[in-house]
A and B are shown apart, each in its own frame.
Chain A
Amino acid sequence: MALIKDQQLSLNHVATPDIRFADWLDDDLIKGESVLTNGADDLTCLLANANKLDMIAIEFETFADGRGFSMARLLRREGYQGEIRAVGDVAMDRIEFMHRVGFNAFELRDDQNVNEALTKLSEMSVHFQPSADGKGPAYMA
């Protein structure tokens, strides 16, 4: 599973955690600064605890599940500056939107070509709406 982080192929990175956020929250014995979360988790809780985490991996179990996009957006809005990593069904045709809403790391699906994926991060140079990446809307250019 190749990882793109901060717009390049990453060779040295923390492994995707298997500690789920709900467990991390409940169990005082579980330490660590990386968690795995998805749309089923309590977002208010996640936002309240984000400052204790270095890395939040947001899981996309299916291609169609769009909740992770809003989760990343809200984390950035809350001021979270750690790594937000997209894991699960992560393919090159979606990472540009993911990047725009605040993901800065992408664990690509096995069938994805990393070099080709890197070119997809900025296929579109025009943005009609502001987002977490600070770009857009076009009329403010």
Chain B
Amino acid sequence: MYAYNQFDQTLVDQRVEQYRDQTRRYLAGKIPEDEFRILRLMNGLYIQRHAPMLRVAVPYGLMKSEQLRTLAQISRTYDKGYGHFTTRQNMQFNWPTLESVPDILADLAKVQMHAIQTSGACIRNTTTDPFAGATADEIEDTRPWCEIIRQWSTLHPEFAYLPRKFKIAVSGSDSDRAASQVHDIGLHLYRNDAGQMGFEVIVGGGLGRTPVIGKTVRKFLEPQELLSYLDAVLRVYNLNGRRDNKYKARIKILVNAVGIEAFTKMVEEEWQFTKGKDLRLPQAEIERVKGFFKAPDYLSVEHAQSSLETEFIAHPAFATWHKQNTRDHKQPGYRIVVVSLKNQLQAPGDISHQQMDGIAALADEFSFGELRSTHDQNLVLADIAQRDLFNLWLKLTDLGMGRANIGTLTDMINCPGLDFCSLANAETLILSRQINETFDDMNYQYDLGEIQLKISGCINACGHHHVGHIGILGVEKGGKQVYQFTLGGSASNDASLGKTLGRSIDQDQVVVVIGQILDVYVQQRETDETFLQTVQRIGFAPFKERVYGTHQRSAA
């Protein structure tokens, strides 16, 4: 992975001191509240319902074991012994004090980490496929490009006060695991008919109050002009995005307001000024960054592989885990392992300091010292030799991270909701608890196949409910917490927004309704048809009929 040189290290060190001074002056009453709020957001510090919350950047989800161990240590020293992985691959600490944050940032800087621009109206963490560099369906490794974007966007002087936050995601595989079509900018690395590698640039996707699938602004962008093009898009947005209403301030609103043709024209005109100049990436720089992402020292296939038949037979649970939680690797003899942070005991995405240390050790032992976070709040150990899978599974199980539920109903995305977040209207964690209690039969879950359940506690949609196969949105109506269901959303190549099923559902009926929806699927599915495919084929009527036809206690 990328290793800091003197410039990178100097930048984060100076940034820590800069923020330390801002904190000092704020506490001395020299910086007004509103102003400090913007300054601290640019260093990832929110004030939440109970306590400040610090969001640490995990650039494109990639970490080395030393960094995870530092996060564990920070959670012990400054927090309550755990952290939380978010839908943008970052990690959050829910309980630091405002005064301690400069020290936390200093600790992070020692291991080449930071919290720069993880909040605020600026360019946020660039995210990508957690399988990048390892996946069998890879077109090109997105990570060097993510690193190039990260550097360009870090402390960018012109784009630090945008109309609103700005999120970029990059996909470089056949299958889009980065939800790129619901980002402000989605970039698709691909090879065109002439055999050249380049980016399709998609702009104006997003969730929240007004969910939108992004639109193509440029079908093919030469990679050397990546930054000059992004620069043009950001400048058009900075100058023309709405600033009168924070709910209408994202770039998706601008694209919709002027239309994609007019918007494209604005960007392409601006790009004429920036392309071919000092933002054109020298080939030497591209090669330098790519050099940090070379394949690790894989064992030869003879040494890496193992048929695992004996282990599968002796340990059926291992066989199940292998089937559910591992994915095809491009290197013969290797597998990608998805580590489930969705056990029944913790909130989805939460990880204790013991688990952090445990995973760090497993990364060292089995995965070349690296790991990734995913946007659906799990972790990935990307480079596991087949011969190591059984031992890894045993150790993951000991850590409480061996649940074989990746891609199933209980592998849900869940925002922290009313328990933590001051923006939330409803509790969400209680739902994940109830879902885990009610649907505890894993064989039933396996039979259901792939189901992406996504839960948000308010309309800001941090839980990505719009793009869930089943989406649940918590709202507040007349003092009560009730939940709206959507069906048929997807964040993948077939990106689509879910549609509302019907009237809101009471909190204690949510698991009943989920059960009803799943019943309809089981009854109506054709052979090998996934949940999403069945929804697309049969439409909403059978589900509405089932849920509202027999439903006794729906909210008004």
Contacts and interface: CB of A to CB of B under 8 A. Distances in A.
Nearest to B285: A139
Interface in B19-60: 22, 30-32, 34-35, 38-39
B239 A123 contact: no
B38 A69 contact: no
A69 B163 CA distance: 12
Given A63-B38, A70-B239, A124 B14 contact: yes
A74 B15 CA distance: 27
B10 interface: yes
B121 A64 contact: yes
A97 B160 contact: yes
Nearest to A141: B7
Given A93-B31, A129-B156, A138-B151, 15 more contacts: A39-B239, A39-B243, A63-B35, A64-B161, A66-B163, A69-B159, A69-B161, A91-B35, A111-B30, A111-B32, A123-B17, A128-B155, A131-B157, A137-B151, A138-B11
A13 B285 CA distance: 44
Given A64-B121, A128-B152, A130-B279, A43 B158 contact: no
6 contacts: A63-B38, A63-B161, A69-B158, A123-B18, A124-B14, A128-B156
Contact of A93 (B15, B17, B39, B239): B39
Given A70-B238, A131-B157, A138 B7 contact: yes
Contacts of A91: 31, 35
B162 interface: yes
A65 B161 CA distance: 6
A98 B161 CA distance: 11
Contact of A130 (B18, B155, B278): B278
Nearest to A126: B11
User: Which among A125, A137, A141 has the highest number of chain B CB atoms within 10 Å?
Assistant: A137
A124 B16 CA distance: 11
B64 interface: no
B235 interface: yes
For this complex, into which size category does the number of interface residues on chain A fall?
20 to 34
B243 A65 contact: yes
Interface string B269-300: 00001000011000001001000000000000
B15 A128 contact: no
Interface string A59-96: 00001111101110110010000000000000101001
A42 to B, nearest CB: 11
Contacts of B235: 70, 73-74
Nearest to A67: B239
Contacts of A5: none
Nearest to A131: B157
For this complex, into which size category does the number of interface residues on chain B fall?
35 or more
Contacts of B158: 66, 69-70, 73, 97, 100-101, 131
Nearest to B120: A64
Contacts of B32: 111
A63 B35 CA distance: 7
A96 to B, nearest CB: 7
Contacts of A66: 121, 158-163, 238
Interface in B498-535: none
A74 B10 CA distance: 29
Contacts of A131: 157-158
B-side interface mostly: helix
Interface in A103-134: 111, 123-131
Interface in B107-159: 121, 151-159
Interface of B: 7-8, 10-11, 14-15, 17-18, 22, 30-32, 34-35, 38-39, 121, 151-163, 227, 235, 238-239, 243, 273, 278-279, 285, 288
Contacts of A98: 157
B14 A93 contact: no
Nearest to B162: A66
B7 A126 contact: yes
A67 B157 contact: no
A134 to B, nearest CB: 9
Contacts of A63: 34-35, 38, 161
Nearest to B42: A93
Contacts of A77: 273
B389 to A, nearest CB: 39
B243 to A, nearest CB: 6
Contacts of A125: 10, 14
Contact of B14 (A97, A100, A111, A123): A123
Contacts of B288: 139
A128 B151 contact: yes
Contacts of A71: 239
B142 to A, nearest CB: 19
A38 to B, nearest CB: 11
B154 A93 contact: no
Contact of B157 (A39, A64, A100, A126): A100
A126 B32 CA distance: 28
Contacts of A141: 7
A131 B157 CA distance: 8
A69 B160 contact: yes
B252 to A, nearest CB: 18
A130 B235 CA distance: 14
A69 B157 contact: yes
A93 B43 CA distance: 13
Contacts of A73: 158, 235
B14 A64 contact: no
A26 B238 CA distance: 26
Contact of A124 (B38, B155, B238): B155
B227 to A, nearest CB: 8
A139 B160 CA distance: 21
B151 A64 contact: no
